[in-house]
Amino acid sequence: MTIPDAFYDENGDKLHEECGVFGVLGLDDASALTALGLHALQHRGQEAVGITSFDGIEFYTRRGNGHVAANFSSSEALSELPGNMAVGHVRYSTTGGAGLRNVQPLYADLASGGFAIAHNGNISNAMTLRRDLVTKGAIFQSTSDTEVIIHLVATSRYPTLLDRFTDALRLVEGAYSLICTTPEGMIACRDPLGIRPLVMGKLGDAIIFASETVALDVVSAEFVREIEPGELVQVSMDGQITSHRPFRNARSRMCIFEHVYFSRPDSIIGGRSVYQVRKAIGEQLAIEASIDADLVIPVPDSGTPAALGYAQQSGIPFELGIIRSHYVGRTFIQPSDGKRHADVKRKHNANRALVAGKRIVLIDDSIVRGTTSLKIVQMMREAGASEVHFRVASPPTEHSCFYGVDTPERSKLLAARMDVEEMARFIQADSLAFVSIDGLYRAVGEAQRNAARPQYCDACFSGDYPTRLTDLGDREAAVRGLATVDE
């Protein structure tokens, strides 16, 4: 099957989180601990990394493209970041695009002093706010939506920095988990729906904030609690902690894809083990979409916990029928179908001796464009599998995300263009099934999805966006304009 070039891009066929954040206050060589914490969050962003530190007098920033290890493994690099307070960020670009000027933390000298900010999420009215700020004379140094927050803080007329920061957040829409540093200390907060995660920990007298609990584990810190939706936690330089609730009617609608794919399996999200939830999703899949088969095989690595759950529930043996190379970087645009196919084989190779002549069930976390799924199915058939059945540990991804997840425009999402039977034919599987949205909710501990008041943000499956999407019309117009230029 020849697949249109429009369905290929350098980001592959997976959903990508935008970033991970980590901050520490009250520990000598805070930047070294921050680098270690960012290592644990590398899966949330592999394009660029940055750290900003404060020694009580000056702020210091170091940023670079690539992984944490490539930028912060040497003592020389960390010696450029002195102080007992630091904030760090790993990035996969969505809003703003690539480029060193968009690498966070972003820093500015405000009237009240230095201000550094690291942001996980996406501001869904950033374009509108930016236009208004530029009209009033603001000069932007990046194309990141995060810089809008800095300008809103700088132009607020409230007397204290905390009040100006709160005033700025009341103007923004969308998703954000933020860690900010100022000469007075550190501020951490989540948006009123808590769409993106953020946790607090302690290491001795030091206070730590991170996107996931695994980062606390790696630095040997104690988990204290999650930052609540709409909560703003202020930590002074002497370690005093104050909690503020500036938003009314804050309630949780955390991104359910944190459980499906984004978070590391050894993290705890919403009080639940991510690994156990993924196994439970696989169990639900086996209940809802059983099939006679000889082997259950995960698409590595993200499909593995769900495949274990499916195998245990169904009684079909679990085997590693696909071996993944961990030494292959991001898939880039290839000039021909043959080279694209070879690129997939560099990442994944069939365990031919195991799958030949077998009826297999492939388990993956999602189908986005469908191109990777097609090539995996073809690889299994070439290895001699007699039947290939595809099972997906999430509902069909029919809608784009506007809250910090890099998704294609809706017209390129396979589930937005085809029903399940058509998708099965497209990926050339003998059968295809997705876990139901109620089954997904059961796996995360809910009886079912409350349609009137959903417990999670599941807009990529349901189209039920929990906030206004002020910039959506502008984005769609921009896409239409680019399409016209391309034509």
Q: Report, as residue numbers or ranges, the catalytic residues.
A: 19
Measure the CA–CA gap between 242 and 234, rounded to whole angstroms. 5
CATH superfamily membership of 16-254: Aminohydrolase, N-terminal nucleophile (Ntn) domain (3.60.20.10)
Q: How far is CA 57 from the centre of its chain?
A: 34
Q: How many CA atoms lie within 13 A of 418 on its CB side?
A: 16
Measure the CA–CA gap between 29 and 206, rounded to whole angstroms. 12
- 3-class DSSP state for residue 264? coil
Tally Cβ neighbours within 10 Å of residue 164: 21
**276-462 and 16-254 share a CATH fold:** no
Measure the CA–CA gap between 319 and 430, rounded to whole angstroms. 19
Q: Evaluate whether the domain defined by 276-462 bears CATH number 3.40.50.2020.
A: yes
- Whether residue 365 has a cis bond before it, omega within 30° of 0: no
> What is the DSSP pairing of strand 199-203 with strand 113-123?
unpaired
- Asked if residues 89 and 154 have their Cβ atoms less than 8 Å apart, the reply is no
Task: Spell out the per-residue pLDDT of the chain, length 487, in tens.
Answer: 333 443 344 344 666 556 999 999 999 999 999 999 999 999 999 999 999 999 999 999 999 999 999 999 999 999 999 999 999 999 986 545 567 899 999 999 999 999 999 999 999 999 999 999 999 999 999 999 999 999 999 999 999 999 999 999 999 999 999 999 999 999 999 999 999 999 999 999 999 999 999 999 999 999 999 999 999 999 999 999 999 999 987 789 999 999 999 999 999 999 999 999 999 999 999 999 999 999 999 999 889 999 999 999 999 999 999 998 877 654 333 334 444 445 566 678 999 999 999 999 999 999 999 999 999 999 999 999 999 999 999 999 999 999 988 788 899 999 999 999 999 999 999 999 999 999 999 999 999 999 999 999 999 999 999 999 999 866 554 443 433 333 3
Sequence ranges of the domains in the chain: 16-254, 276-462
pTM of the predicted structure, to 2 decimals: 0.90
Picking from 172, 181, 163, 111, the residue whose alpha carbon sits closest to that of residue 145 is 172
| Summary count for the chain: helices (H), strands (E) | 18, 23
